[in-house]
A = this chain, B = another copy of it.
Amino acid sequence: MPHLYDFSATDGSDRDLLGGKGAGLARMTSLGLPVPPGFTITTDMCRAAMATGAIPDDLWPEVEDAVARLEKTSGRHLGSGPAPLLLSVRSGAKFSMPGMMDTVLNLGINDDVVKALIEWSGDPHFGWDAYRRFVQMYGDVVLGVPEHRFQDVLTELRRSRGVEDDSELSAEDLETATTRFRDIVEQERPGELPEDPMEQVKGAITAVFLSWNTKRAVEYRRIHSIPDDLGTAANIQMMVFGDLGDDSGTGVCFTRDPGTGEKVIYGDYLPRAQGEDVVAGIRNTLTLDQLADLHPECHRRLLQIMEGLETHYRDMCDIEFTIERDVLYILQTRAGKRTAAAAVKMAVAMVGEGLIDRETAVTRVEPDSLEQLHRPRIADRVKGSASLAVGVAASPGAATGKVVFSSEEAVDQARNGAEVILVRPETTPDDIHGMAAAVGILTSQGGKTSHAAVVARGMGKPAITGAAQLQVDYEAGIASTGSVDIRRGDVITIDGTSGVVYQGEMELVPPEVPSELGDLLEWADQIRILGVRANADTAEDATLARGHGAEGIGLARTEHMFLGERLAIVQRVILSTNPTDREEALGDLERQQIGDFESLLEAMDGLPVVIRLLDPPLHEFLPSRLELEHEMLRRVRAGRPIDDLQAMSDQVARWEEDNPMLGLRGVRLGLMLKDLYRMQARAATTALTRRIQAGGTPHLEIMIPLVAAAEELIRMREMIETEITAATAETGVELAIPIGTMIELPRAALTAGEIAGVADFFSFGTNDLTQMTYGLSRDDAEGLFLRDYLEQGIFTSDPFQTLDRPGVGRLVRVATREGREANENLVVGLCGEHGGDPDSIYFVHSLGLDYVSCSPPRVEGARLAAAQAALQSDRNDV
């Protein structure tokens, strides 16, 4: 087996051996495109080097032969004139890997060659610029000399010449720079900058291969689950020069508009420049139309190539090209990045054009990106404005409004018609109503899975969390960045898609949902097997979810119905020692719950609605003792009595828990305060009966939370069935109510076989299941260590965003299999945050689950992800 292949020697179909970049170069060469000649050293060589710790000696003769062929093809010569050959060396693994050494340009230059180069080009500026670029890049990338040392030299030169840009330096300046650069390299790595051109090439190749095992690269592979034995290839290619006078230049173009998806070509061209200058955005670029004026023939050829590549790759292509003295070269092509709207538009258009089929179209759009389509965004032309702070992009879309620091104020102001942004250190379930009243949420703590983020996403509202520069003092009504204070009533704008907070009002662009989205999602629905329901607690959410294509409600959290104004009633139920008072409070709640359930069933008429009985960590329903003590302190200082607070504090103390997440919650509360769950069961049967009597076709299911042992479910089932029988006896209306359970404790998953015997359905509550399996509370971990863990790579992903397959996922698999073995009619769903996460959807599809349930704004993405799952992964129909 040869160690390397010329670009012209293969058709580029073997990406494993040639890497992604090498395969693309070979493919374009085989298509007859004007690719500068070169060759690819295979990934085999990298693997051999890793095994022995050194590059095998027998590689070098092959490299020398290949360079000789290159010289022949190009008519240029490595290390000498009249036309000196300069080379680039680039790594290229099968998958793009930012952790590795990337590119060294202008190899093959030294004090002699630079003279030949100047002679050949007739341009000393060009020659010395190439030389200083080589020393700088080799020094930085291959030898690890700190980049700032080179920059310091350039800065000083620019300052002394009074110019802004390196390109304005004279040839003499660049010669000076070259000399100084060489001194720096000699200082830092004595004797390591080769003079001999071939040694330069070999040094760069060696460095590319060794970079495969740098700590950063290993880390990156671990994080992205890329096998270590894949290896990288190395691509050695003739340099062409876009900076070789006014008839040269370099550019990037797209075969369609990456911003809108329209079928119009789009590109930037920069005369007299090397590739990196285009990206740096130092000078204004020209359009492709302007290019046509400068180089009509190159422009015609480029358009032809663009069309050919799109047809060949059947996707929008992003193409890098260089024009050297009026000759066009293509340096690279790949599928181009695009906005969500563009992706949708293109995918559907390409089906219409017969370029791709519907299955392919469905895989062309990132499920996560669909959420953005429904949100306003900041107008492009104001995007550059100065930001106040940057936090976590927690929920996409932009919002402008007056700052409020409490949920009460948010509700009050919203009632008066104001648009407000709720600013808090963090949010708690007490803030739900304030969040609902606000147009956007900003917190100084928490990450992507904090309460604020999760709830905001659920509500479809823009949110930024963890904007740590902001010190929020909500008592004083000030959020301060240190230099700027934002006060109650000040207007700010938040961009939840980027995480940036702006001062003042910004122009917003309303959401534009591409008309093609409906087609794409319809195709997805035809492909997918996994059902998609929504988590919704109100008729409003249910209606929204239904609009997004939800096939029912997979999780209605009744505890959310108990917050806000009803909280006081719930507290009476829990704390009251007077039975009549308690009874009355329960009656109140029951009347309200009936209404809640009726409206949910009406909004989802004909589709299943899973009502989860109360599952609060108890402390969320009770006043905080710390705050009570706080308030007492305040009152004592003001000379006011505190007896009522003291009494309340004593009552609450009886229910106090050190670890409420592990305490009296869910079914435990249901078994200790039996009349609470009984009230809810009764409200459910009454609501169902009324909807049937009203001529609807409601499908109500009751779900029991936090079951650890089958016996808990048995007792609850008995109680609920008693209520159903009683209801039918009273009204004569037959009720069919499936009764199931959350699987959210490891023990429930481990004893799923037993539990399935008494359950009609399972729904994995993967938020809690993740908390218990890892033994970590999401809210606590966020602030104290989870972010550090992710940054340090101790955890490769946030298990609250993407389902942890080896741990939590294993429990899901075991429980699904054993549950179905015990009860073949068992319906199995998942209703945690993960229900909207594409990677998690792929996984649960492969496990054979029946449905996922996610927040309404994520329903469309989930439909798409479910279709992608069906296309890409095996389903284990257990």
Contacts and interface: CB of A to CB of B under 8 A. Distances in A.
Given A662-B777, A664-B780, A808-B747, A793 B711 contact: yes
Contact of A775 (B706, B793, B811): B706
Interface string A748-784: 0011001000000000000010011111110111001
A636 B746 CA distance: 48
B672 A781 contact: no
A597 B420 CA distance: 60
Number of copies of this chain that the complex holds: 2
A715 B793 CA distance: 11
B795 A709 contact: yes
Nearest to A795: B709
A316 B718 CA distance: 47
Contacts of A785: 664, 668, 671-672
Interface string A616-656: 00010000011001101100110000000000000000010
Contacts of A664: 780-781, 784-785
Given A708-B807, A711-B793, 20 more contacts: A629-B633, A632-B633, A633-B636, A636-B636, A658-B777, A659-B661, A662-B776, A663-B776, A663-B780, A663-B784, A664-B781, A664-B784, A668-B776, A671-B794, A672-B784, A715-B794, A746-B746, A746-B811, A750-B806, A768-B775
Contact of A751 (B750, B768, B807): B807
A745 interface: yes
A715 to B, nearest CB: 7
A318 interface: no
A228 to B, nearest CB: 15
A615 to B, nearest CB: 12
Contact of A658 (B780, B788, B808): B780
A657 interface: yes
Given A626-B625, A780-B657, A806 B672 contact: no
A810 interface: yes
A106 to B, nearest CB: 40
A308 interface: no
Contacts of A776: 662-663, 668, 708
28 contacts: A625-B626, A633-B636, A636-B637, A657-B777, A657-B784, A659-B660, A659-B779, A660-B780, A662-B771, A662-B775, A663-B777, A663-B784, A671-B785, A672-B784, A706-B775, A709-B794, A709-B795, A711-B793, A711-B794, A712-B794, A715-B794, A744-B775, A745-B774, A750-B807, A750-B811, A754-B806, A768-B775, A772-B775
Contacts of A793: 711
A337 to B, nearest CB: 31
A419 interface: no
A257 interface: no
Contacts of A268: none
Interface in A3-18: none
A626 B659 CA distance: 15
Interface string A796-829: 0000000010111011000000000000000000
Contacts of A706: 775
Interface of A: 619, 625-626, 629-630, 632-633, 636-637, 655, 657-664, 668, 671-672, 706, 708-709, 711-712, 715, 744-747, 750-751, 754, 768, 771-777, 779-781, 784-785, 788-789, 792-795, 804, 806-808, 810-811
Nearest to A807: B747
Closest 9 CB pairs of A and B: A662-B777, A747-B807, A629-B629, A659-B777, A746-B746, A745-B775, A663-B780, A657-B780, A659-B661
Contacts of A619: 658
A794 B716 CA distance: 11
Contacts of A781: 662-664
A708 B655 CA distance: 31
Contacts of A715: 794
Contacts of A807: 708, 746-747, 750-751
Contacts of A775: 661-662, 706, 708, 744-747, 768, 772
Contacts of A744: 775
A851 B792 CA distance: 36
Contacts of A811: 746, 750
A750 B771 CA distance: 14
A793 to B, nearest CB: 7
A117 B629 CA distance: 78
A744 B784 CA distance: 21
A578 to B, nearest CB: 21
A630 B789 CA distance: 35
A711 B711 CA distance: 38
Contact of A747 (B779, B780, B784, B804): B804
A323 B173 CA distance: 127
A504 B789 CA distance: 57
A758 to B, nearest CB: 13
B662 A780 contact: yes
Which interface residue of A629, A745, A750 has the most chain B CB atoms within 10 A?
A: A750
A428 to B, nearest CB: 9
Contacts of A779: 658-659
A633 B655 CA distance: 22
A625 B629 CA distance: 10
Nearest to A753: B806
A772 B630 CA distance: 33
A658 B625 CA distance: 13
Contacts of A784: 655, 657, 663-664, 672
Contact of A629 (B630, B711, B750): B630
Nearest to A745: B775
Nearest to A625: B626
A637 B640 CA distance: 12
Given A636-B633, A780-B659, A784-B663, A773 B750 contact: yes
B662 A662 contact: yes
A815 B754 CA distance: 22
B794 A774 contact: no
A715 B626 CA distance: 38
A663 B637 CA distance: 35
A405 to B, nearest CB: 18
A788 B672 contact: yes
Contacts of A671: 785, 788-789, 792, 794
A709 B223 CA distance: 13
A802 to B, nearest CB: 14
Contacts of A795: 709, 711
A133 B784 CA distance: 72
A712 B771 CA distance: 17
Nearest to A781: B663
Contacts of A772: 746, 772-773, 775
Contacts of A773: 745-747, 750, 772
A637 B808 CA distance: 52
A795 to B, nearest CB: 6
Contacts of A747: 773-775, 804, 807-808
A785 B671 CA distance: 9
Nearest to A668: B785
Nearest to A428: B658
A230 to B, nearest CB: 21
Contacts of A663: 776-777, 780-781, 784
A647 B625 CA distance: 20
A750 B805 CA distance: 10
A804 B661 CA distance: 21
Contacts of A626: 625-626, 629
A768 B668 CA distance: 20
A633 to B, nearest CB: 5
Nearest to A776: B662
A811 B814 CA distance: 12
A771 to B, nearest CB: 6
A660 B658 CA distance: 7
